Chains A and B, each alone.
Chain A
Amino acid sequence: MPTQKTIAATGNTVVAEAMRQCAPDMMAAYPITPQTTIVEEFAGFVAKGRVHTEYITVESEHSAMSACVGASAAGARVMTATSSQGLALMWEELHIASGMRLPIVMANANRALSAPINIHCDHSDIMGARDTGWITLFAETAQEAYDNTIMAIRIAEHPDVLLPTMSCLDGFITTHSIDRVCIMDDETVTGFVGQYTPKNALLDIENPVTHGAFAGLGGPFFEFKKSQREAIERSRAVIKDVGAEFSELSGRPFGMVETWGMEDADVAIVVIGSTAGNVRHVARQMRESGIKAGVVKIRCFRPFPYAELAAALSGVKAVAVMDRAESFGAEGGPLFLEVRSALYDATERIPVIDYIYGLGGSDVRLELIETVLNDLSEIAAGAQAPTGLVYLGSR
């Protein structure tokens, strides 16, 4: 296994480091809390001459993604980062990037969307963008944010995939907390990500192509969308392979879902992002008091790991889904809808309860997670499951 260096750094620092090691040809940068330090740290690499990247400081996130679309179509390896309102401002371009099959890699510092304005963590930004056609990876820790950023390049640029990929980390909790992170050496990362060989590059002057053509008037719009679906379905195998290869190099396992205690669990919590650590901690404690708790963490939200999730949850008696985003008017939050759908074909009907928590960075205290596991334990023993979603920790 190649040597790795263990450092103490924030999530944003190691995302910037991963980006430097991936050596993008172009980066578009625009500041937004809590993403800003990613593009600031990268600006430092540019100033010191440590990257060859053409770094452009655009005047909005809309232009950031617009310029990334142009650069990626030109044939460059392209990266950027954003958060919250910035991601929302990019929304139109997110669809265009995936529709034009451009393997742009972006970090998103998960943050609540206005109004009211709030700069802290929740998943409303990324969940609002969940149908934009981007492959979406989530990190629990700074380490995972580092690893996901590097894997994202390989996944996005894979000839069977060619889809933009987002690497999400929780605003402030992961972006700004100092964590212990193993960093690979530059040569290892360079070798792992390889060179990007674009198809139909705009800058291939001898073979002119038209990008972004009009497919209306009875044109093949529908078929383009179908091929996009086929590509993201193909990405499942690629994500698995890239994850396996990365695990070999790093010694850190990667799967679309990560399970803890699921071998014999009676009750389980499904969670995304930084909260998973607290959930595991409480689950471990509750096991000492006799509650057989398990945890399923989602590392890849798009494509959604339906089969993996159904397999992981088979045999449990009650499931709690921790949603850090609302889907107003729906039966529950976005993750709940996916989890219930994943369990639809299960032979046993498992009660699934949705807990909306942590909106706008509101605290997720350990005792709150305890109440979830206690609820589940009672439901597993035959108590009536609550109807409708539960707000966890709201005043």
Chain B
Amino acid sequence: MANLKELTHREDRLEGGHRLCAGCGASVAVRQVLLGAGVEPVVVGCATGCLEVSTTIYPYSSWKTPFIHNAFENSAATISGVEAAFKGLKAAGKIPADKKIKFVAFGGDGGTYDIGLQSLSGAMERGHDMVYVCYDNGAYMNTGIQRSSATPKGAWATTSQVGAAQQGKQQRRKDLTQIMAAHNIPYVAQASISHWKDLTTKAEKAFAVEGPAFLNVFAPCPRGWRIPFDTTVEIAKSAVQTGYWPLYEVEDGVWRQTVKVMNRKPVVEFLKPQGRFKHLFASGNEALLEEIQADVDLQWDRLQARFSCS
């Protein structure tokens, strides 16, 4: 795997000058993932969302590589079509048989966990040689911080508000990484922008496998999380250290923790700095905090059991 020095010499395929917010985790995720593609050409697909609108304002584009945006729910289907076209054009002799191109689709958690889940599941099941990357910031940020099925329980969002009758989102988040592992595709991993080496290594593996690969990348949103824009990486690191976002991979069915967490910290260390969880620290919500901690513990233990099994 490439070291930091080598990575710094690789070309950035997402050019600066785009309109993403200061401190946005999405662009960090994209750059680290694309560094993992190495020197091979990459075609990028992107779901409607912050990443797409902020990087392709006509007549400008931040993409130094072929790029396609189609709609919100179909980034996976779209890139699966591009990959299929590549195979068909090779079969027709219109593209040399030895030509190599990588295909990657990006989507936020709204475009992946929710509206794009069917399209993603279908593309993975069909076995296209592509990588799907979800940049998970835990809400529909582009439309203004609405809850998604990736939003953590208890979080404030504009459609899961805080008041006398309810304390933020009422439901647990969906575990998309495990859903994708259940597709029995060659490579599935959960990563975070705070652990660049782990993430680029996973991206390298995802691009290297023949067939579909899925990466779920933790990518904080300072606007939506109500945190200072210079704390993106810190808060992502805290998610890993508290066990809220474990870093692991499932390679050919073998589950492996890629970043060990010694002395796992209480989840409040991840929650407390974020304005979207502020209400949880008001008196009367102690039980809710305990419940969130218990849930992190339960998920953590279940995951550890999977690691020890395989």
A-side residues, CB < 8 A to B, are 23-26, 28, 52-54, 56-60, 62-63, 66-76, 78, 92-93, 96, 202-205, 208-217, 219-220
What are 30 A-B residue pairs whose CB atoms fall within 8 Å in the complex? A25-B91, A52-B88, A56-B80, A56-B126, A58-B80, A59-B125, A62-B74, A63-B118, A63-B122, A67-B81, A69-B78, A69-B81, A70-B68, A70-B77, A70-B78, A70-B81, A70-B84, A71-B88, A72-B85, A93-B70, A202-B67, A208-B66, A209-B67, A210-B56, A210-B63, A211-B66, A211-B68, A212-B52, A212-B70, A213-B57
Contact B71 A96 (CB under 8 A): yes
Contact A213 B69 (CB under 8 A): yes
User: Which residues between 116 and 136 of chain B lie within 8 Å of chain A, taking CB atoms?
Assistant: 118-119, 121-123, 125-126, 128
Contact A67 B78 (CB under 8 A): yes
Q: Hey, which chain A residues are within 8 Å of B227, CB to CB?
A: none
Contact B81 A26 (CB under 8 A): yes
Q: Could you give, for residues 72-93 of chain B, a 1 whenever the CB lies within 8 Å of some chain A CB and a 0 otherwise?
A: 0110011111101111110110
Contact B71 A203 (CB under 8 A): no
User: A48 to chain B: closest CB distance in Å?
Assistant: 15
Given A63-B119, A63-B122, A203-B43, A209-B85 contact (CB < 8 Å): no
Which 7 A/B pairs are nearest by Cβ-Cβ distance?
A70-B81, A67-B81, A59-B122, A54-B88, A25-B88, A212-B69, A76-B85
Interface flag for B95 (CB, 8 Å)? yes
Given A52-B91, A78-B85, A205-B101 contact (CB < 8 Å): yes
User: B177 to chain A: closest CB distance in Å?
Assistant: 20
Bound state CA distance, A165 and B126, in angstroms?
Answer: 27
Interface flag for B65 (CB, 8 Å)? yes
Interface flag for B53 (CB, 8 Å)? yes
Interface flag for B64 (CB, 8 Å)? yes
| Chain B interface extent, by class | 35 or more
User: B191 to chain A: closest CB distance in Å?
Assistant: 25
Q: Hey, which chain A residues are within 8 Å of B84, CB to CB?
A: 26, 28, 54, 56, 67, 70-71, 76
Contacting residue for B80 out of A70, A205, A213, CB 8 A: A70
Q: Hey, which chain A residues are within 8 Å of B69, CB to CB?
A: 210-214
Contact B77 A213 (CB under 8 A): no
User: A291 to chain B: closest CB distance in Å?
Assistant: 52
Contact B68 A73 (CB under 8 A): yes
Q: Could you give, for residues 176-188 of chain B, a 1 whenever the CB lies within 8 Å of some chain A CB and a 0 otherwise?
A: 0000000000000
Interface flag for B94 (CB, 8 Å)? yes
B-side residues, CB < 8 A to A, are 41, 43, 45, 52-53, 56-59, 61, 63-71, 73-74, 77-82, 84-89, 91-92, 94-95, 101, 118-119, 121-123, 125-126, 128
Q: Hey, which chain B residues are within 8 Å of A72, CB to CB?
A: 81, 85
Given A73-B68, A203-B101, A210-B61, A62-B89 contact (CB < 8 Å): no
Closest B residue to A52 using CB positions: B91
Bound state CA distance, A71 and B83, in angstroms?
Answer: 7
Bound state CA distance, A203 and B67, in angstroms?
Answer: 10
Contact B61 A52 (CB under 8 A): no
Contact A213 B56 (CB under 8 A): yes
User: A28 to chain B: closest CB distance in Å?
Assistant: 7
Closest A residue to B78 using CB positions: A70
User: A92 to chain B: closest CB distance in Å?
Assistant: 6
Q: Hey, which chain A residues are within 8 Å of B95, CB to CB?
A: 203
Q: Hey, which chain B residues are within 8 Å of A66, CB to CB?
A: 70-71, 74, 77-78, 81, 119
Contact B52 A26 (CB under 8 A): no
Residue of B61, B81, B82, B125 with most partner-chain A CB within 10 A = B81
Contacting residue for A70 out of B41, B52, B79, B89, CB 8 A: B79
Contact B63 A63 (CB under 8 A): no
Bound state CA distance, A75 and B126, in angstroms?
Answer: 21
Given A60-B118, A205-B41, A70-B63 contact (CB < 8 Å): no
Contact A58 B82 (CB under 8 A): no
Q: Hey, which chain A residues are within 8 Å of B87, CB to CB?
A: 54
Contact B92 A217 (CB under 8 A): no
User: B74 to chain A: closest CB distance in Å?
Assistant: 4
Given A76-B85, A209-B66, A52-B92 contact (CB < 8 Å): yes
Contact B57 A219 (CB under 8 A): yes
Bound state CA distance, A204 and B43, in angstroms?
Answer: 10
Closest B residue to A201 using CB positions: B66
Closest A residue to B64 using CB positions: A208
Q: Hey, which chain A residues are within 8 Å of B128, CB to CB?
A: 56
Contacting residue for B126 out of A57, A71, A208, A216, CB 8 A: A57
Contact B70 A71 (CB under 8 A): no
User: A163 to chain B: closest CB distance in Å?
Assistant: 17
Q: Hey, which chain B residues are within 8 Å of A59, CB to CB?
A: 118-119, 121-122, 125
User: B54 to chain A: closest CB distance in Å?
Assistant: 8
Contact A217 B57 (CB under 8 A): yes
Q: Hey, which chain A residues are within 8 Å of B85, CB to CB?
A: 25-26, 54, 70-72, 74-76, 78, 203
Q: Hey, which chain B residues are within 8 Å of A67, CB to CB?
A: 77-78, 80-81, 84
Contact A202 B88 (CB under 8 A): no
Closest B residue to A202 using CB positions: B66
Q: Hey, which chain A residues are within 8 Å of B79, CB to CB?
A: 70
Q: Hey, which chain A residues are within 8 Å of B73, CB to CB?
A: 62
Closest B residue to A93 using CB positions: B71
Bound state CA distance, A62 and B125, in angstroms?
Answer: 16
User: B200 to chain A: closest CB distance in Å?
Assistant: 22
Bound state CA distance, A26 and B81, in angstroms?
Answer: 8
Residue of A52, A71, A210 with most partner-chain B CB within 10 A = A210
Contacting residue for A219 out of B58, B63, B80, B125, CB 8 A: B58
User: B68 to chain A: closest CB distance in Å?
Assistant: 4
Q: Hey, which chain A residues are within 8 Å of B74, CB to CB?
A: 62-63, 66, 93
Closest B residue to A217 using CB positions: B57
Bound state CA distance, A76 and B83, in angstroms?
Answer: 11
Contact A203 B63 (CB under 8 A): no
User: A109 to chain B: closest CB distance in Å?
Assistant: 22
Bound state CA distance, A219 and B57, in angstroms?
Answer: 8
Contact A60 B94 (CB under 8 A): no
User: B20 to chain A: closest CB distance in Å?
Assistant: 13
Closest B residue to A196 using CB positions: B94
Bound state CA distance, A76 and B91, in angstroms?
Answer: 11
Contact B86 A203 (CB under 8 A): yes
